[in-house]
Structure 1
Amino acid sequence: MELTPASERIELFGDQVRELLHPTVTEDARLVQKGLMLYRQGLVKQIQIWNEQITATVQDVTPCYVKLNFEFLSQSECSCPTEGFCRHQMAVFFGAYARVGSVADWVTDWREPIRESKSISGWGLQTAKDLIKENGVSKPDYGRWVHSFEVSFDTLLATKKYTSPYVIPELFGIYERRIHASAPVEQEWRLLYELVGIVVSFRKLARLSDDLGHEEDMVKRAYLHLFHNLMDDAEELSLKIGVQSLPFDFDEFVDKLREDTFELLTCTQGLAYERIFLYRLLWIHFFKKKAWREEELVKIQTRLKSLQDWQSPAPLLLAGIHLNFLLGDDEAALRMTGPFNDEEITPYLVFWIEYLSGLKAWKRVGPVVELFLQKVKGYLEWLGGYHSCATFVRNALRTVAPYCTESDRVDLYERAMLSMLPYSFGDYEYVLFERKQYDRWGELQAFVGLDYYELPKDRLKLIEKEQPEVLLGMLHQTAQKEIDQKNRASYRLAVRHLKKLRTLYKKLKRVDDWEYFLDTLMERTKRLRAFHEECKRSKLIEG
C-alpha cells in the first residue's frame, strides 16, 4: 500500500484542527494563542513524524509528551492533565506544520472570519439605522411584510460591493434586528410575522450564496450557522403558534406561507439538507391539515414534471417522501426512496425514524430502521472526516435506541453499532463489556487498533481476573508494534509487554506455548542487537 506523503498528512491534520476549533470561540482562540506561544519560544523538542502519528516533547513548566494521531484527532494524547485538545498538542501541530508550510499563514487563514466581520460592522450599522422607520399601526398584510423583508435584505446584503462570505453574519444580524423592530405589536400576529420572515430570509440568503458564487465549503466556514439558527427559530415559533387560538384572518396568510415554503425546494441548488429540514419541520408543526398535505403532494408531482435538466429533483422527491410519512402512507414513502443513493437518503432516514418514534408508531419505525442500516455504511464512507462521522453516528444511535428498546430488538441495536464502526466504538465497547462478552470486546479493540497500554486499567484488571486469554492477542500485537519502531525506548516498552505476556501464559498454565513463542521471536529478531540487550537486561532471556 502506498503511503500518503508526510506533508499531505500534516495538511489534512491541519484541516481537522480547523474543524475542531473556531476563531470566534474565546476558549479556542486562547488555546491557539497559547500553542503558538509555546511553539515560537522553541519549546517543542524531538519532533518525529511517523506513518500514523507525530510524537514530540513540549518543555512547558512540566515537560509533556505528545502524540498526534493523523487519522483520528480525538485519539491524540498528551501527558498533561488537560482533557481534550490542549496547548501542547497545538504547539506540536505548529512544530510539524512549520516543516510543510507557514504557521503564520495557517493562523491568519484560521482567523479570517473575525477580521472580515470587524471591517464591515460600522458600515452595516449605519445602513440599518437609515432603514428603520417609525412603525405605523396598520392592518397586517402578507404582501407588505414580504416586500419589507426583501427591500431590507437587498439594501443590507445584496449590494455587490461586499462579496466576502465573512461579512455576511454581521450584516445578517443587523437585518434581523430590523425585522424584529418592525414586528406587529399583537402577540399572535408577531409570531406569524417572524415565521414568514424566517422563510423569506432563508430563501433570500440561499439565493445570495448562489449570486455571490460562494462554494459549499466557503458557506460552511463563514455563515452556515445562520441557516441553522433560522431552522431552530422556525421550530420554536411553529410550536408556539400551534398551541394558541388563531384569528380567522390567518387562513389567507397560511396559504401564502405554504406557497413560499414550497419555493424552498427549488430556490437554489445548494443547501439541500437545510432547505429540506426547514420544509420538513414546518409541515410537521405548522401545516397540519390533511387536505393541505394532500394538495402539496399533487403540487410536488406537477413541479417534478416541469423541472429543467439542470435542476435536481432530490428536494422535491424528499418532500414527497416526508408528506407520505405524515399522511401515514409509509409504503409510498419507502418506494420513493428508490432513486436515491446512500449518501443522499441516509441523513433524512434519521429524521423519519425520530418522527415516527415520537408518535410511538413502533410498527412503522421498523422498516425505516432496516433501510437505514442498509445505507449507513455507504453514507459514512462518503461523509469522511472523523468528527463529522462520529457526530452523525452518536445522533443516529440515540435515534434508533428507543425502537430497539420498545420492540426488544437488542440484536438490531448491535447490528447498528457494527455497521457504524469505528465511529460507534465507544458505545459498542461499553455494551460488550457490560454483557461480559470479553472475547468480542478484545476483537473490537484489535479491530480499532488500540494498543494494550491505551486501554482502561480497571477493565484490563477485571478481564485478567475473569478471562485472561483475551489479553494475549492484544499484548502480542502491542509488543510487535513497539519492536517494529526499532529504537531503544520502544524496545523497553516491548519488553514490558512481553513480561506481562509471560505472566499471563504462566497463569493459564501454557508455559510451553510461551517458551515456543519467545524462542521464535528471538530467532526472528536476532539482528536487532539493542532489542536483545534490553531482553537480557530485564532478565526476559538469559544473559
Structure 2
Amino acid sequence: MESIELQHLSNEVRELLHPHDAEDAKLVQKGLMLYRQGTVGQLHFGEDLVTATVQDVTPVKVQLDLTFLSMSECSCPYEGLCRHQMAVFFTAYAKIGSVAEWVEEWREPMKEKKEFTTWGLQTAKDLIKANGVLKPDYSRWVHSFEVSFDTLLASKKYTSPFIITELFQIYERRIHASAPVEQEWRLLYELVGIVISFKKLAVLSEQSGHTEDMVKRAYLHLFHNMMDDADDLVQKIGIQSLPFDFDEFILKLKDDAFELLTAAKGLELERVYLYRLLWSNLFKKKVWREEEAGKIRERMKLLQDWENPLPLMIAGIHLNFLLHNDEAALKMVGRVGDEVVTPYLIHWIDLFSHQKAWKRVSPVIELFLQKLKAYLEELGGYHSCSSFTKTALKAIAPFCVENGRTDLFERALLKTLPYSFADYEYMLFERGQYDRWSELQAYVGLNYYDLPKDRVKLIEKEKPEVLLGMLHQLAQREIDQKNRQSYKLAVRHLKKLRTLYKKMKRLDDWEYFFETLLDKTKRLRAFHEECRRSKLIEV
C-alpha cells in the first residue's frame, strides 16, 4: 500500500512541476540537494501522511499528504510546494525507487535539443533558398508546408519526443520566412499553415508511437500555441476586408479542416478545439454548415472499428448548435458518455454566455452539471480535478450572476467538492451561513483547531453554538481512543467547550452534559484523572 501511495504522490509531483519552468527546476534542485546532504530525519509513514523534519538553516517540520499533495504542509514561511517538502518526498521515494532515475526522467525533456539545432537551421535555410518567397497559391502553400515538415520532422532519423519542440520551431521559422508580404494574405497563409502543421504533427505523434504522457511532457504546448495563434488570426481576418480571391482559399481550407477530425486517434480536445474555432469564426455561411453536418453524418457511417468517433460526434453537435438546432444538439450530447463529453460542453457554455444567449445556455449548463461528477471521478488526480473545477465554475458564473441563479452555482459547488472547497467555504461564510459552513469543514476533515482564527473569533461572537457541535465531536473522538495522550486532548477540547457555554450563559447545559459524560466514562480512570488534573472536576 505504501508503494502505491508513494507512486501516486510521485505522479502528482510530476504533474505539478515542469522541467521547462525555471522556478520549478530550481525547486527540484534545492530539494535534491537537501536530500543528498542527509538533512531529512524522523521520517514516518502514517495512514495518509508522511511526516519528517528537515535540518535546513532553520529546522522545519514537514507533512506530506499522500492523497492530496496540495494539502501538504511545512513550517517554513514559503507558500505552496517548497524545497523542504521536495527533500522529504525524495527521501520517501527512495524507499520504493531510485531518486536519481526519477530526476533524470523528469529532466529528460530538456535533453537532446541543442545538438539538433544547427542541422535543422541549415535545412531550413536550404529550403528557403530552393523555394523562395511563395505567391498566393493554396496548393503551393500546402505543398511547401508538407515538404518542410517532412524534411525537418518526419525523416525517421530522430524519433525522441523531446526534440520535437526544437525542430518544430525551426520549421515555423521556415514558414514565416516564406510568407506573403501583403498583410491580408499573410494572415490567411499563417492560418492555413497552422491547420496543415497541426494535422501533420498529430499524425507524426501517432506514427512515432508517442504516448499521451510523452506528448504532454514533451510537446503538447506546441498544439496549444497553435490553438492560441489560430484564435488570434481568425479574429484579425474577421475584421478586415477580404479580397475576392479569398473565397477559393477558404473553401479549400474548409476541406482541410475536416481532416482534423479523422487524421489521428489522439489529441481529441486539441483537434476539436481548432475545428470548432474555424467553424465558429471563419466558415459562417449557413449552406456550408449544413453541408458539413451532412458530410459528418456520412463519414460516421463509414467509421472503422479502429477509428475514434468522438471528434466527429462533437463536430456534429457543434454544427447543430451553430445552425440553432439546439434540441438536436442536446440529444446528441446525451448519447455521448459523461466521462468524454463533459469538457467539450464548456466551449458551448462560453460561446452562448459571450453572446448573452441565456435561454440557449441554460439547458447546456443543466446537462453539464448532471455529467460533471462522473467526469471528475473518471479524471482522477487532485491537481487535474481542481483545475477543471475552476474552469467549470468560471464558465457557469456569468449565467448565474446575470440571472440571479445562486442556487445553480451552489449546486455546482456541491457537486465538485472537495475541489471547490475554497470557493464554497468563502461563499457560505460571507452569507453568514455558519451552520453549513461548519458542516463543510467537517466534510473535508477539518476540526476546530484547523479553522482560521479570525473566522473562529467572529463566529464565537456571532453564533458560538455552531462551534459547540465541532468541539463535542472532537472531544468524544479523543475519549474513544482510550489512551492517556488522547484523554489530555479531550480535556483540552472540553475546557474550550466550557468557555463557550459560559459565553452563551448556558452553564446549566454544560454541567448537565459534563455530569452525563462523567457517568458514561466512570470506568475510564485515566480520563477522570486528567479531568481532575485540569480542574474540570472539582477536587
Q: Can you list the C-alpha shifts for 1:502-523, whole angstroms capped at 9, x where unaligned?
A: 3224434121354147527855
How many angstroms apart in 1 are the aligned matches of 2:20 and 2:519? 57
How many angstroms apart in 2 are the aligned matches of 1:243 and 1:100? 58
| AA of the residue aligned to 1:117 | K
Is residue 42–residue 53 contact of structure 2 (8 Å, CA) maintained in 1?
yes
| Residue number in structure 1 paired with 2:211 | 215
Is residue 199–residue 263 contact of structure 2 (8 Å, CA) maintained in 1?
yes
Q: 1:352 to 1:138 in 2, by over 3 A?
A: closer
| Residue number in structure 2 paired with 1:292 | 288
Q: Can you list the C-alpha shifts for 1:364-405, whole angstroms capped at 9, x where unaligned?
A: 111111101110000000001111111111111111011112
Is residue 460–residue 467 contact of structure 2 (8 Å, CA) maintained in 1?
yes
How many angstroms apart in 1 are the aligned matches of 2:123 and 2:479? 67
Q: Residue 114 of structure 1: which of 110, 114, 138 is its match?
A: 110
Deviation at 1:161, TM superposition (A): 2.1
| Residue number in structure 1 paired with 2:395 | 399
How many angstroms apart in 2 are the aligned matches of 1:523 and 1:102? 54
| Residue number in structure 2 paired with 1:386 | 382
Is residue 133–residue 178 contact of structure 2 (8 Å, CA) maintained in 1?
no
Q: 1:137 to 1:152 in 2, by over 3 A?
A: closer
Is residue 505–residue 514 contact of structure 1 (8 Å, CA) maintained in 2?
no
Q: 1:98 to 1:537 in 2, by over 3 A?
A: farther
How many angstroms apart in 1 are the aligned matches of 2:230 and 2:191? 6
Matched, 1:318 2:309: no
How many angstroms apart in 1 are the aligned matches of 2:523 and 2:106? 49
How many angstroms apart in 1 are the aligned matches of 2:147 and 2:478? 67
Deviation at 1:469, TM superposition (A): 2.0
| Residue number in structure 2 paired with 1:37 | 33
| AA of the residue aligned to 1:361 | A
How many angstroms apart in 2 are the aligned matches of 1:485 and 1:114? 51
Q: Residue 253 of structure 2: which of 220, 245, 257 is its match?
A: 257
Matched, 1:511 2:510: yes
| AA of the residue aligned to 2:383 | H
Q: Residue 70 of structure 2: which of 74, 90, 95 is its match?
A: 74
Matched, 1:353 2:352: no
Deviation at 1:362, TM superposition (A): 0.5
| Residue number in structure 2 paired with 1:20 | 16
Deviation at 1:499, TM superposition (A): 2.6
Q: 1:481 to 1:217 in 2, by over 3 A?
A: farther
Bigger drift between 59-68 and 122-131 goes to 122-131
Matched, 1:200 2:230: no
Deviation at 1:173, TM superposition (A): 1.1
Deviation at 1:409, TM superposition (A): 1.3
Q: 1:488 to 1:244 in 2, by over 3 A?
A: farther
Is residue 451–residue 477 contact of structure 1 (8 Å, CA) maintained in 2?
no
| Residue number in structure 2 paired with 1:424 | 420
Indicate the SS of the match to 1:337: helix
Is residue 502–residue 514 contact of structure 1 (8 Å, CA) maintained in 2?
no
Unaligned runs of 5+ in 2: none
Bigger drift between 491-500 and 388-397 goes to 491-500
Q: 1:139 to 1:22 in 2, by over 3 A?
A: closer
Is residue 13–residue 71 contact of structure 1 (8 Å, CA) maintained in 2?
yes
How many angstroms apart in 1 are the aligned matches of 2:49 and 2:536? 29
Q: 1:137 to 1:374 in 2, by over 3 A?
A: closer
Indicate the SS of the match to 1:46: strand
| Residue number in structure 1 paired with 2:268 | 272
Within a 5 Å distance, the mapping from 1:227-242 to structure 2 comes to: 227-242=223-238
Q: 1:517 to 1:115 in 2, by over 3 A?
A: farther
Q: Residue 187 of structure 2: which of 191, 197, 201 is its match?
A: 191
Indicate the SS of the match to 2:50: strand
The size of the alignment, in residue pairs, is 536
| AA of the residue aligned to 1:437 | Q
Is residue 36–residue 90 contact of structure 1 (8 Å, CA) maintained in 2?
yes
Q: Residue 493 of structure 2: which of 488, 491, 497 is its match?
A: 497
Deviation at 1:496, TM superposition (A): 3.5
Matched, 1:303 2:299: yes
Q: Residue 240 of structure 2: which of 235, 240, 244 is its match?
A: 244
Bigger drift between 250-259 and 501-510 goes to 501-510
Q: Can you list the C-alpha shifts for 1:150-188, whole angstroms capped at 9, x where unaligned?
A: 111111111222111111111111111111111111111
Q: 1:493 to 1:336 in 2, by over 3 A?
A: same
Is residue 478–residue 487 contact of structure 2 (8 Å, CA) maintained in 1?
yes
Give every structure 1 segment of 4 or more consecutive aligned residues whose post-TM-superposition deviation is greater than 6 Å. Answer: 480-491, 531-534
| Residue number in structure 1 paired with 2:366 | 370
How many angstroms apart in 1 are the aligned matches of 2:294 and 2:415? 37
Deviation at 1:129, TM superposition (A): 3.2
Bigger drift between 121-130 and 271-280 goes to 121-130
| Residue number in structure 2 paired with 1:413 | 409
Is residue 134–residue 141 contact of structure 2 (8 Å, CA) maintained in 1?
no
Is residue 199–residue 260 contact of structure 2 (8 Å, CA) maintained in 1?
yes
Within a 5 Å distance, the mapping from 1:90-169 to structure 2 comes to: 90-133=86-129, 136=132, 139-169=135-165
Deviation at 1:282, TM superposition (A): 1.0
How many angstroms apart in 2 are the aligned matches of 1:449 and 1:171? 49
Q: 1:487 to 1:157 in 2, by over 3 A?
A: farther
Bigger drift between 110-119 and 267-276 goes to 110-119
Unaligned runs of 5+ in 1: none
Is residue 133–residue 179 contact of structure 2 (8 Å, CA) maintained in 1?
no
How many angstroms apart in 1 are the aligned matches of 2:208 and 2:115? 19
Q: Can you list the C-alpha shifts for 1:345-377, whole angstroms capped at 9, x where unaligned?
A: 111111101100111111111111110111000
How many angstroms apart in 2 are the aligned matches of 1:537 and 1:59? 36
Deviation at 1:91, TM superposition (A): 1.0
Indicate the SS of the match to 2:123: helix
| Residue number in structure 2 paired with 1:469 | 465
- TM-score, normalising length: structure 2: 0.94
How many angstroms apart in 1 are the aligned matches of 2:118 and 2:484? 61
Is residue 134–residue 178 contact of structure 2 (8 Å, CA) maintained in 1?
no
| AA of the residue aligned to 2:22 | T
How many angstroms apart in 1 are the aligned matches of 2:351 and 2:203? 29
How many angstroms apart in 1 are the aligned matches of 2:286 and 2:523? 75
Deviation at 1:100, TM superposition (A): 1.8
Q: Structure 1 vs Structure 2: percent identity of aligned residues?
A: 69
| AA of the residue aligned to 1:467 | K
